[in-house]
Amino acid sequence: MTPTEQSSLLTVAWLAAFADGDKSEVERAQLRSIASTLASAGSTVDVQAVLQDVLLKRVSLAQAVAGLSTQEQRQLAFELAVTVCDADGAQSQAEQQFLSTLKAALGSGLDSGFAAQTAGLALLVDAPGTGTGAGSPSAAMPTVSVDRTRLEKTITNQALLCGALELLPQSWASMAIIPLQLRLVHTIGTAHGAVLDASMVKEFAAAAGVGLTSQYLEQFGRKLLGGLLGRVAGGLGRGVGSAGAGVAMSFATTYALGQLALRYYAGGRKMSTALLRETYTELLGTARQLQTTALPQIQERARTLDAGQVLQMVRQPLA
């Protein structure tokens, strides 16, 4: 993939992120930080310039799409945009209009693809909730028998899976990580007797300081600029060397988010937002240390994955 084609895909990603026009200055700062991180990776693409062009409205969607030379790249652009718009909640009217305009600009021949199948999968936690916000004192939760050992194993398995997804070259791989992380939180919460809906699970992640849209953009950016999205024989792309940062981030965020949810729901949902963030940061440090020893397991997990398995995992409740 040429630098021009990479730049076009990044432009579509940033345009999708700002499609609803509702990004706070904190979110903008977070996205600028991601651009800086990606720019420092030694890519020939000027990531900061791409973001600046989007922020200053110096580039149009039509111009971005014009840089995509193959049907596969246009398909990827659409899947990418759908996932970015879905990452932090239900699509707004503005985001729906953006996706409709993008689809028309990309032309005919688009397959429904993984994005169409997974659109809204981050919202699969759809049972009406009766609890309160993540950082607020909640009503008493029912007394239930919790198999903590089983939940600990589930957290570790999901962290290994999310790390393994970063080693795959396919475009659908990173798109599954955020839905899997949200389903993990839901599994832990319901195991403790909580009744949760999608907004409550996302509120928990946000209270912990986990930016879903920014996380996905960084995951995708690392893969794109690392050259991992091409069709590579053997299914493991360039391997751990070039994907190490993405593997570490996805394993660590999944493990830390799962452990945080375990503490939060076991304690009756009484942690303040400040304590949630402080605890998540501590757990993230622990998870990054664990990732080094877990690397062989992550590699082995990647060798056994395929699109059908991952899609089923996202759709079904965690065991």
Neighbours of 154 (CB within 10 A): 19
Which amino acid belongs to residue 192?
Answer: H
State residue 28's pLDDT score.
Answer: 65
Vertex 257 angle, CA 255 and 261, to 5°: 115
pLDDT in tens, the chain (319 residues): 788 888 898 898 889 888 877 665 655 666 676 666 666 655 677 888 888 898 889 999 999 999 998 888 888 788 778 777 766 656 678 888 998 999 899 887 776 555 555 444 444 434 334 444 454 444 556 667 889 999 999 999 999 999 998 887 665 666 778 888 888 999 999 999 998 877 788 888 888 877 666 666 776 676 666 654 443 323 333 333 345 666 778 899 999 999 999 999 999 998 999 999 999 999 999 999 998 899 999 999 988 887 677 777 776 654 4
Structure tokens at 8: 């076009």
State residue 43's pLDDT score.
Answer: 64
How far from each other are the two terminal CA atoms of the chain, in whole angstroms?
39
Q: In 254-263, which positions are buried (b, 16+ CB within 10 angstroms) versus exposed (e)?
A: bbbbbbbbbe
| Helix (H), strand (E) at residue 80 | helix 71-87
Structure tokens at 256: 């830390």
209 in the Ramachandran plot: left (φ > 0), alpha (ψ -120 to 50) or beta? left
Among residues 232, 147, 146, 222, the alpha carbon closest in space to that of 177 is found at 222
Cα 132 from Cα 134, distance rounded (Å): 7
Q: Which CATH architecture has domain 3-117?
A: Orthogonal Bundle (1.10)
| pTM of structure | 0.70
Structure tokens at 316: 């079904």
Q: Where in the chain is the domain with CATH 1.10.3680?
A: 3-117
In this structure, what is the dihedral angle of CA atoms 265, 197, 215, 271, given to the nearest 10 degrees? Answer: -30
Cα 94 from Cα 120, distance rounded (Å): 16
State residue 212's pLDDT score.
Answer: 66
